[in-house]
Amino acid sequence: MLLITFNRVKNALEATLDGGLVSIDLSNEGQEASLLVSDSGEGGPVELRDQLFTPVGSRKSGGTGIGLAISSQLATHIGGSHRYVDTNTPAPFLS
């Protein structure tokens, strides 16, 4: 969970302009935990959102395009899920 959190926060910070906001919301219900990382960045391009969790080339300078894919695999490995949501309609990335 720490590796997933680190990757999501790092991505959010990179997507946010100076003076922008990155928010982290952790919650639990019974044995289930949820993590929501949101930022004031522009968001991922709509046409690429279906590919976010597959290892593809990155649009970021120096990026490898595998960070979200690894995070998604880690989430699945621990019995969770990892998904992109529009922060205008909050939902957990990991549940």
Q: What's the per-residue H, E or C state across 23-88?
A: EEEEEEECCEEEEEEEECCCCCCHHHHHHCCCCCCCCCCCCCCCHHHHHHHHHHHCCCCECCCCCC
- The enclosing domain of 45 has a CATH number of 3.30.565.10
| Among 1, 13, 2, 6, CA closest to 40 | 13
pLDDT tens profile 28-44: 988 888 888 888 887 76
User: What integer pLDDT is reported at residue 1 of this predicted model?
Assistant: 83
Q: What is the mean pLDDT of the chain?
A: 80
User: In which domain, by residue range, is 15 found?
Assistant: 2-77
Domain annotation covers residue 34:
yes
Apex 33 CA angle, 14 and 95, nearest 5: 70
